[in-house]
Amino acid sequence: MTTKRGFVLAAAVAVIALVLLIAGFIANLVLTDLRVSLDERERTAAFWAAEAGAEWAKARTAAEPDWFSDLPHSPADDIEWLKDGAIGQLVALDGSRCKVIREDGKNTIYSVGSCGRDVVSIIKVQFTGPPFKAVRWKEL
């Protein structure tokens, strides 16, 4: 009889361990999906913040062609400078942030949108001159 009780106890422990293993696996899947969803939401918000900043900068430059926020910087498209070093013009947005950069004497506008933890989207707009005869943009 003690052999049966020992077997039942071992079987119960094995079943509990299996259930806990499956529960841990499901919890890991749910948390991973949640992280991916939050990251996607932040990336989308950062992109639209950058897009809004680019539109703001185009309107500002069309109204004031000599407007600039920073002195010229080299090399072009220096992402670390755009994110951290450039002064830029901060544009107020709801729930996200945007910094617009136009270097003196250049026909390029950078719009750096950010949201949440270090999620950044940078849009570069190049133009031939106000009022934006040939506008071309790309996401860096």
Q: What is the pLDDT of residues 41-59, one digit of tens each?
A: 888 999 999 999 999 998 8
Least confidently predicted of 76-80, 126-130, 134-138: 134-138
In angstroms, the CA 97 to CA 115 distance is: 6
Q: What is the pLDDT of residue 23?
A: 95
Q: Which residues, including other chains, have CB under 8 Å from residue 1's CB and lie 6 or more apart?
A: none
pLDDT score of 117 more than 90:
no
Rounded to an integer, what distance in angstroms lies between the CA atom of residue 110 and that of residue 84? Answer: 13
More confident residue, 139 or 63: 63
Q: Are 58 and 135 in contact (CB under 8 A)?
A: yes
Structurally, how many domains does the chain consist of?
1
Q: Where residue 87 falls among pLDDT bands split at 50, 70, 90?
A: very high
* Alpha-carbon 104 to chain mean position: 27
Q: Is the pLDDT of residue 134 over 50?
A: no
pTM: 0.72
Residue 103, domain extent: 2-139
Check residue 1 and give its pLDDT: 53
User: Pick from 77, 115, 109, 111: which is nearest to 94 by CA?
Assistant: 115
